[in-house]
Amino acid sequence: MTLSTELHSNSVECPPPPVETTGLRSIRALRLQNLTVVVARTPADLEPHIPAWEELAASAAEPNPFFEPWMMLPAMKELGGGLDLRVALLYAPDGVRPHGPQILCGVFPLQFNRSYKGLPVSVLTLWRHRYCFLSVPLIRKGCVDQVLRSFLDWIPTQGATLMEFQRVPGEGSFNEALVAAMYERHSLSFVDDAYVRALLKPATDSDSYFRAAVRRDHRKDIKRRARRLEETGSVVYRELASEEELGAWIEGFLDLEQKGWKGKNGGAFACRAEDRRFFEEVIRAAFSRGRLMMLSLEVNGHPVSYKCNFIANEGSFAFKIAYDESYAYYSPGLLLEIENIRSFHERGDLEWMDSCASPEHPMIDRLWQDRRIIQSVLVSAASRTGDLWISLLPIARWANRLIKRISSRSRTAGDKVNFSDV
pLDDT of residue 29: 65
Tell me: do 265 and 177 sit in the same domain.
no
Q: Per the domain annotation, does 414 fall within a domain? A: no
In whole angstroms, what is the distance from residue 415 CA to residue 293 CA? 52
Tell me: do 343 and 391 sit in the same domain.
no
pLDDT of residue 406: 84
State how many domains the chain has.
Answer: 2
Tell me: do 124 and 157 sit in the same domain.
yes
Tell me: do 97 and 145 sit in the same domain.
yes
In whole angstroms, what is the distance from residue 263 CA to residue 422 CA? 46
- Mean pLDDT for all residues in the chain: 89
pLDDT of residue 216: 94
Q: Compute the Cα dihedral for 227, 228, 234, 240 and give only its sign.
A: negative
pLDDT of residue 343: 97
What pTM does this model have?
0.88
* pLDDT tens-digit map of 237-248: 999 999 999 999
Write the CATH number for 29: 3.40.630.30
Tell me: do 32 and 162 sit in the same domain.
yes
Low-confidence ranges of the chain (pLDDT < 50): 1-21, 24-25, 415-422
- The residue range of the domain holding 237 is 202-368
Tell me: do 294 and 222 sit in the same domain.
yes
What's the angle, vertex CA 130, arms to CA 281 and CA 255, rounded to 5? 55
pLDDT of residue 404: 81
For residue 12, give every residue at least 6 positions away whose Cβ sits within 8 Å of its Cβ, in sequence order, or none. none
Q: Compute the Cα dihedral for 268, 87, 310, 289 and give only its sign.
A: positive
Q: Per the domain annotation, does 418 fall within a domain? A: no
In whole angstroms, what is the distance from residue 34 CA to residue 146 CA? 10
In whole angstroms, what is the distance from residue 317 CA to residue 133 CA? 9
Q: Per the domain annotation, does 413 fall within a domain? A: no
pLDDT of residue 39: 97
